[in-house]
Structure 1
Amino acid sequence: MRVHNEQDAVVVGVDGSGSALDAVAWAAKEAARRGRRLLLVHAQLPLPFDDLEPTERLRDELHRVAWQWLHEAADAARDVAPDLHPEVRLDQGDPVTALIAASASAYEVVVGSRGYGGFTGVMAGSTAMALSAHAHSPVVVVRGSAVRPGPVVVGVDGSAASELALARAFDQADVEGARLLAVHVWHPLPAWVGGIALDERDRVEAEAEHHRLLSERLAGWQEKYPDVPVERVVARGHVAQRLVDYSDTARLVVVGSRGRDGFAGLLLGSTSQALLHHSPCPVLVVRDEQRH
């Protein structure tokens, strides 16, 4: 187990749902193998009572349930990592705001893909989307089983966010003892460009250029992580769809929040959004503005 000097914790959003407990299990394994603290956070939304104030009894009951969820999450974390000592925290207010604030000093923030309307929602949920777009640390959205075999899959397109995703993916594969599947996707050339007909030789040259791009992006990292087996894939098609396809047999997919196919004004690219909605495995999103 690696022990870090930094106090940055793995932070998990807890809302009492089964999906949140899946996130806790994933985060507990992550904290244990990295020698980091595990912080379980629940944010209690204000009650929409309009002009009526909730009774003291109701306030006490909601408070009790919130602490029950946190303690159940702590038990679930210890089931996965018995030597771990989870910390619990109950905040008041909006869950997104609470987790974004916690991300400022977090190693990463982990949430489930769906829940009771607190930290997660339908599909990936507005909380997961907002966190992936605005958090100060990487965000992991746990979809499906928290423990899966298979490789760590990373999307590579040469953008700044993609470079950070590649760095994190190599580190993750090294820590987990997994192989790395580096995927670069490109759109096939049309039959005509600028009124000029393209033949098969043009397409072969274009594909060779994409293979060179992927090799250049991987070169330094493979020297830094010589024990990580790397498989390179250059595929044609739609980036999001191909990465969703590869996620089917992956333990984790790592992507940048915005790649070369995104617009500068968007905080979360279409590829990241598609994976958060459709990947059957956990998705780790890294933004180029983040600390890590």
Structure 2
Amino acid sequence: MTKPLILLPVDGSEHALRAAEYSVKIATMMNARLFLLHCHRPFPVKLGDPYFQKAIDKIMQQSAERLAPFRSLLDQKGADYTELILEGPAGEKICEVARIEKSEMIVMGSRGRSNLTGLFLGSVAHRVLHQAPCPVLIVR
């Protein structure tokens, strides 16, 4: 029997770090594994080589840097996790991954790094809350 999956989308914010701490506690109680997800902005397709590759390298480096504190936390806590970096709109990709991976739940921060905001929640959290195929825990 496979372990239940908890999706943990992160963007490097303090809210996401608090969500990561909660997700470890919940995963321990449920004997679940975590799926650490980071979504970055689209690659600039109008650039030609070698500028296109340099832009990709920079975006991937920034993504790895944003994931570093989360990897550290999960490793320190002995969490069972997998990670994935995707290109595209975070709200859309989070829901897509939750469906594909058949997540039991999503644990995420209430506000992230985006300048766009919903009325009470960050715009990404708001979208996920309304479109996710599973329960969503919003941590603030």
Per the shorter chain, which TM-score range? 0.7 to 0.9
Answer whether contact 2:117 2:123 (CA < 8 A) is retained: no
Report which of the two has the higher share of helix: 2
Q: Which residue of 1 aligns with 2:130?
A: 277
Equivalent residue number for residue 238 of structure 1: 89
Equivalent residue in structure 1 for 2:13, among 130, 136, 159 = 159
Tell me, yes or no, if the aligned pair for 1:192 and 1:198 is still in contact at 8 Å: no
Could you say which residue in structure 2 is the equivalent of 1:259?
A: 112
> What CA deviation, in whole Å up to 9, does each residue of 1:20-58 have, x standing for no partner?
xxxxxxxxxxxxxxxxxxxxxxxxxxxxxxxxxxxxxxx
8 Å Cα contact 1:173/1:180 also seen in 2: yes
The verdict on how the C-alpha distance between 1:273 and 1:265 changes in structure 2, with shifts beyond 3 A counting, is: closer
Higher RCO (C-alpha 8 Å, min separation 6)? 2
TM-aligned CA deviation for residue 216 of structure 1: 2.9
How far, CA to CA, are the matches of 1:211 and 1:250 in structure 2? 23
Could you tell me the percent identity over the aligned residues?
A: 25
Deviations 1:153-203 (A, max 9, x none): 01111112111111111111111101000101001232469xxx8321331
The answer to whether the aligner puts 1:210 opposite 2:68 as a matched pair is no
Which 4+ stretches in 1 moved above 4 angstroms?
262-266
Flag structure 1 segments of 5+ consecutive residues without an equivalent: 1-148, 288-292
CA deviation map 1:92-150 (0-9, x unaligned): xxxxxxxxxxxxxxxxxxxxxxxxxxxxxxxxxxxxxxxxxxxxxxxxxxxxxxxxx63
RMSD: 2.2
Contiguous gaps of at least 5 residues in structure 2:
none
Partner Cα separation in structure 2 for residue 245 and residue 236 of structure 1: 12
Instruction: Quickly say closer, same or farther: Cα 1:264–1:174, change in 2 above 3 A.
Output: same
What is residue 34 of structure 2 aligned with on the other side? 180
**Superposition deviation, residue 263 in structure 1:** 4.3
The number of aligned residues is 134
What is the TM-score with the length of structure 1 in the denominator?
A: 0.42
What TM-score do you get using the length of structure 2 for normalisation? 0.84
Counterpart residue number, 1:229: 80
